[in-house]
């Protein structure tokens, strides 16, 4: 029996559930397939830098599979709707009798996979869908009433109890070398239609499974112990920067969890650095669970339906200033410039800029969510949507609408000497650690020498306006 393993957001050989399962039972070997869907990816707002990382990772995955004599075939179809027929064609062409894939949880991906399953089964072949993108499949832990959790803390408790009761899963090995199937791997295209090849931010993200492993090992060895104290400091390398690799599956969440569990004395609980990092991995699981339990969040709708009535402002000029990193709030501008230069933004800054957009500027979270997706190298519908709806007070577990960050205080607290601002807003580099957080407070002669805008909003007034907008829907 020969199997087709359909690769998607799981571009690696080690600890790949579907590949491992297929390799064990396929007596005539395994063939791998990746489908490139440029139109659909554009519709999903995938960024140039994310697609570029994916393309370079495909080259790495293809080499690594071929060392095991597993050929990676590449098919390009514009949209997900075209995938099922093409899959079946590939299966027939290469005499595959079973299809293996790892489950994905976004609504369009689920519809695509359902259609593929129906088509392939309809032709008399077997289909096996494995859990891989998460440690526990969405819905595996539920509330006492049998519902999906909508609050993180009880979800986390149940999740940890469940994982501990079954034992923290050890990563699966990569498959062994198989006999040459007589099928050559396809060339990975040099560019993907509609996406920029080699965008400048790509230089920050070396591709491949080995790079992802190296980042994990380095983080575990040097940074996890201090993660709790350093993770909120954007000027410091205190976090793992694994999110781009998790987003395309160059590393598995099980591998990350297992390494952190060991670093935490073989426990998932506690309040040190490793336990705090484990909680972040659980946030990632939580938002996938929310995607499945409450699929409206995949369709640009608020988790809390009543917040659809918030009177968001159009304010195109303010939105453009936010996108361009020209709001006059140095920490916000530094963060937005980090996003554009590197394709990544520190978590604390994602919270600051998303709250600034949705509260200080009262601009619809969906515009910010989309801008992030179009620029992030780690763009991930579940976590991005979860983060935006948290900041906008429209989501699960959301920040209460009246608790609004003051961007200047956040800046003083998390970038106390202004090192991060200096790196990304060079026009403020000469200011001292006090003035750099709010140059608008400088005396007029000094202020006028800076090529830097005045704040586009008065924080106190913006805050009051947002609270009023939320109170209006409460009383309505």
Ligand X SMILES: Cc1cc2nc3c(=O)[nH]c(=O)nc-3n(C[C@H](O)[C@H](O)[C@H](O)COP(=O)(O)OP(=O)(O)OC[C@H]3O[C@@H](n4cnc5c(N)ncnc54)[C@H](O)[C@@H]3O)c2cc1C
Q: Is 378 in the site for ligand X (CB under 6 A)?
A: yes
Q: Is 388 a catalytic residue?
A: yes
Q: Which of 365, 369, 384, 385 is catalytic?
A: 365
Q: Which of 75, 108, 312, 406 is catalytic?
A: 312
Q: Is 350 in the site for ligand X (CB under 6 A)?
A: yes
Please report how close the Cβ of residue 207 comes to ligand X at its closest, in angstroms. Answer: 16
Number of residues located near ligand X, criterion CB under 6 A: 28
Q: Considering beta carbons, is residue 350 or 412 the nearer one to ligand X?
A: 350
Q: Considering beta carbons, is residue 30 or 353 the nearer one to ligand X?
A: 353
Q: Considering beta carbons, is residue 386 or 439 the nearer one to ligand X?
A: 386
Q: Considering beta carbons, is residue 60 or 285 the nearer one to ligand X?
A: 285
Q: Is 103 in the site for ligand X (CB under 6 A)?
A: no
Q: Is 283 a catalytic residue?
A: yes
Q: Which of 6, 261, 283, 322 is catalytic?
A: 283
Q: Which of 75, 97, 280, 341 is catalytic?
A: 280
Q: Is 390 a catalytic residue?
A: no
Q: Is 387 in the site for ligand X (CB under 6 A)?
A: yes
Identify which range of 136-144, 281-289, 319-327, 433-441 contacts ligand X by CB under 6 A. Answer: 281-289
Identify which range of 59-67, 344-352, 401-409, 438-446 contacts ligand X by CB under 6 A. Answer: 344-352
Q: Considering beta carbons, is residue 82 or 280 the nearer one to ligand X?
A: 280
- What 3 state SS string does the chain have? CCEEEEECCCCCCCCCHHHHHHHHHCCCCEEEEEEECHHHHHHCCCCHHHHHHHHHHHHHHHHHHHHCCCCEEEEECCCHHHHHHHHHHHHHHCCCCEEEEECCCCHHHHHHHHHHHHHHHHCCCEEEEECCCCCCCCCCCCCCCCCCCCCHHHHHHHHHHHHHHHCCCCCCCCCCCCCCCCCCCCCCCCCCCCCCCCCHHHHHCCCCHHHHHHHHHHHHHHCHHHHHHHCCCCCCCCCCCCHHHHHHCCCCHHHHHHHHHHHCCCCCCCCCHHHHHHHHHHHHHHHHHHHHHCHHHHHCCCCCHHHHHCCCECCHHHHHHHHHCCCCCHHHHHHHHHHHHHCCCCHHHHHHHHHHHHHHCCECHHHHHHHHHHHCCCCCHHHHHHHHHHHCCCCCCCCCCCCCCCHHHHHHHHCCCCHHHHHHCHHHCCCCCCHHHCHHHCCHHHHHCCCCCCCCCCHHHHHHHHHHHHHHHHHC
* Interacting residues with ligand X between 238 and 267 (CB under 6 A): 239-243, 246-247
Q: Is 205 a catalytic residue?
A: no
Please report how close the Cβ of residue 451 comes to ligand X at its closest, in angstroms. Answer: 29
Q: Is 287 in the site for ligand X (CB under 6 A)?
A: yes
* Interacting residues with ligand X between 154 and 183 (CB under 6 A): none
Q: Is 372 in the site for ligand X (CB under 6 A)?
A: yes
Interface with ligand X by CB under 6 A: which residues?
231, 239-243, 246-247, 280-281, 283-284, 287, 347, 350-351, 354, 372, 376, 378-380, 383-384, 386-388, 391
The residues carrying an active-site annotation are: 280, 283, 312, 347, 365, 388
């Amino acid at each position: 029996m020969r199997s087709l393993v359909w690769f998607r957001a799981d571009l690696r050989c080690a600890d790949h559930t579907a590949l491992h399962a297929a390799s064990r039972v396929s007596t005539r070997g395994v063939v791998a397939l990746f489908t490139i869907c440029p139109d659909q990816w554009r519709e999903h707002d995938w960024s140039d830098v994310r697609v570029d990382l994916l393309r370079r990772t495909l080259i790495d995955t293809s080499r690594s599979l071929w060392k095991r004599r597993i050929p990676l075939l590449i098919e390009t179809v514009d949209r997900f709707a075209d995938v099922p027929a093409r899959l079946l064609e590939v299966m027939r062409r290469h005499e595959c009798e079973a299809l293996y894939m790892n489950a994905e949880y976004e609504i369009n991906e689920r519809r695509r996979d359902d259609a593929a399953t129906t088509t392939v089964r309809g032709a008399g072949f077997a289909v096996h869908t494995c859990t891989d993108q998460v440690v526990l499949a969405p819905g595996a832990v539920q509330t006492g009433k049998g519902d999906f959790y909508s609050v993180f803390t009880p979800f986390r408790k149940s999740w940890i109890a469940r994982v501990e009761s079954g034992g923290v899963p050890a990563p699966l090995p990569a498959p062994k070398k198989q006999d040459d199937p007589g099928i050559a791997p396809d060339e990975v295209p040099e560019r993907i239609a509609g996406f920029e090849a080699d965008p400048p931010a790509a230089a920050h993200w070396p591709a491949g499974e080995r790079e992802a492993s190296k980042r994990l090992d380095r983080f575990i060895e040097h940074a996890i112990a201090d993660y709790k104290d350093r993770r909120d400091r954007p000027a410091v390398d205190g976090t793992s920067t694994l999110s781009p690799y998790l987003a395309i599956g160059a590393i598995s969440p099980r591998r990350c969890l297992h390494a952190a569990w060991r670093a935490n004395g073989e426990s998932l609980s506690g309040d040190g650095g490793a336990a705090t990092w484990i909680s972040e991995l659980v946030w990632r699981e939580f938002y996938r669970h929310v995607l499945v339990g409450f699929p409206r969040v995949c369709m640009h709708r608020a988790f809390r339906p009543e917040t659809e009535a918030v009177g968001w402002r159009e304010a195109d000029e303010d939105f453009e200033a936010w996108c361009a990193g020209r709001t006059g709030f140095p920490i916000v501008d530094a963060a937005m410039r980090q996003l554009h230069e590197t394709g990544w933004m520190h978590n604390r800054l994602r919270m600051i800029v998303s709250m600034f957009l949705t509260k200080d500027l009262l601009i619809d979270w969906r515009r910010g969510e989309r801008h992030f997706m179009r620029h992030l190298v780690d763009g991930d519908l579940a976590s991005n949507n979860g983060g935006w709806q948290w900041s906008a007070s429209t989501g699960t577990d959301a920040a209460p609408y009246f608790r609004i960050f003051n961007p200047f205080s956040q800046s003083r607290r998390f970038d106390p000497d202004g090192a991060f601002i200096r790196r990304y807003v060079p026009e403020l580099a000469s200011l001292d650690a006090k003035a750099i957080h709010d140059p608008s407070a400088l005396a007029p002669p000094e202020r006028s020498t800076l090529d830097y805008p005045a704040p586009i909003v008065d924080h106190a007034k913006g805050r009051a306006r947002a609270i009023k907008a939320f109170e209006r829907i409460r009383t309505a």
